[in-house]
Amino acid sequence: MNKHISVDPDVLKASFIDGKWQDGSKGTFEVRNPHDGALLHNVGYAGADDVAAAVASAHAAQPAWAALSNIERAQIMRRIHQIFLEKAEPIAQMITAEIGKTITDAREEVFEYSAPSYAKSAEEILRHRGLSFPSTQERTRNKRLVMTHRPLGVVAAIKPYNFPTDISSIALVHIVAAGNTVIWKPSEYAAVSCAMLGVVFKEAGVTDGVINIVQGKGDVGAALVDAKGVDGVFFTGSTATGRKIAEKCALHPHLLELGGDALHHHGRCRCRYGRRRRDERLLLLFGPGLHFRGTRAGA
């Protein structure tokens, strides 16, 4: 893998808000290679004011985005798919550098999972239909009850390290294809590989403010959950953090994908069983969550 991946300096900034890369109010944080600890990047750190600006941008953009026809939004999703494929190789290399996946698995993630998510969602949004029910209030067959779906509004997407572009893309594309806008907080361990998608969204013609990115650690995610103007939260990560979000969002729409079926170590692609064990019973116990000959655990 190329250890000197060329990236646009803008993607090292703290946020992508209203279609523009911006510095953060909390300085920077380090992203290091999990294999040798070498410093890869200093990435901008978003503060509470940056989170508020991202929410305001998403809120302002949402009505016009929702007013687009399904076909128009689907066309943009298809463009994202095509441009993503064109830029997928350096993103895969960055995933390998940031979280320690083999380049084979990183390429599989971006080419086979992440990029196609946008094309698939384009077809799903065009197939979506409402429901019709007979009225139960009148003695007539001339009245029907119709159920349709409307966008929720502004959604916060807080996503993990293990499949940084795949799990995030699944969330992002379904959020925006349905007419919502989003503020995405990627994992701090895969900050740049995720930020590189901001370039894809911009080139694909996604309306400014529809997809916003804020970088940082757990405090940024917490600020996003607490922010006024966020209509829903979609979180993938630890059960402990998920419980905190559930408590804060008890009367607020939220979707939580928690826990996992594998061991993990400090949120990186390292496993406590770093060396292969002769006892094959371990494979029976932990096999579903272990890859790379015992050196990686997926959540």
Report d(CA 55, CA 33) in Å as an integer.
31
Indicate whether 2 pLDDT > 60: no
What is the rounded average pLDDT of the residues 89-115? 96
Instruction: Choose between 143 and 266: higher pLDDT.
Output: 143
- pLDDT tier at 272 (50, 70, 90 boundaries)? very low
Q: Picking from 83-92, 95-104, 197-206, 285-294, which range would have the lowest pLDDT averaged per residue?
A: 285-294
Q: What is the pLDDT of residue 27?
A: 94
What the chain holds in terms of domains, given with CATH numbers, is 9-126+150-259 (3.40.605.10), 265-299 (no CATH)
Q: Picking from 15-19, 44-48, 139-143, 281-285, which range would have the lowest pLDDT averaged per residue?
A: 281-285
CB contact at 8 A, 23 and 181: no
Indicate whether 298 pLDDT > 60: no
Instruction: Choose between 235 and 127: higher pLDDT.
Output: 235
SS3 per residue for the chain: CCCCCCCCHHHHCCEEECCEEECCCCCEEEEECCCCCCEEEEEECCCHHHHHHHHHHHHHHHHHHHHCCHHHHHHHHHHHHHHHHHCHHHHHHHHHHHHCCCHHHHHHHHHHHHHHHHHHHHHHHHHCCCEEEECCCCCCCCCEEEECCCCCCEEEEECCCCCCCHHHHHHHHHHHHCCCEEEEECCHHHHHHHHHHHHHHHHHCCCCCCEEEECCCHHHHHHHHHCCCCCEEEEEECHHHHHHHHHHCCCCCEEEEECCCCCCECCECCCCCCCCCCCCHHHHHHHHHEEHHHCEECC
- pLDDT tier at 260 (50, 70, 90 boundaries)? low
What are the residues whose beta carbons fall under 8 Å from the beta carbon of 256, sequence distance 6 or more?
A: 235, 236, 242, 245, 246
Q: What is the pLDDT of residue 129?
A: 72
Q: What is the pLDDT of residue 6?
A: 78
Mean pLDDT of the residues in the chain: 86
Q: What is the pLDDT of residue 3?
A: 54
Indicate whether 34 pLDDT > 90: yes
Indicate whether 252 pLDDT > 50: yes
What is the rounded average pLDDT of the residues 92-102? 95
What is the rounded average pLDDT of the residues 189-204? 96
Q: What is the pLDDT of residue 293?
A: 42
What is the rounded average pLDDT of the residues 78-95? 97
What is the rounded average pLDDT of the residues 50-54? 97
Indicate whether 4 pLDDT > 70: no
Instruction: Choose between 140 and 285: higher pLDDT.
Output: 140
Q: What is the pLDDT of residue 123?
A: 87
Q: What is the pLDDT of residue 142?
A: 80
Indicate whether 270 pLDDT > 70: no
What is the rounded average pLDDT of the residues 76-84? 97
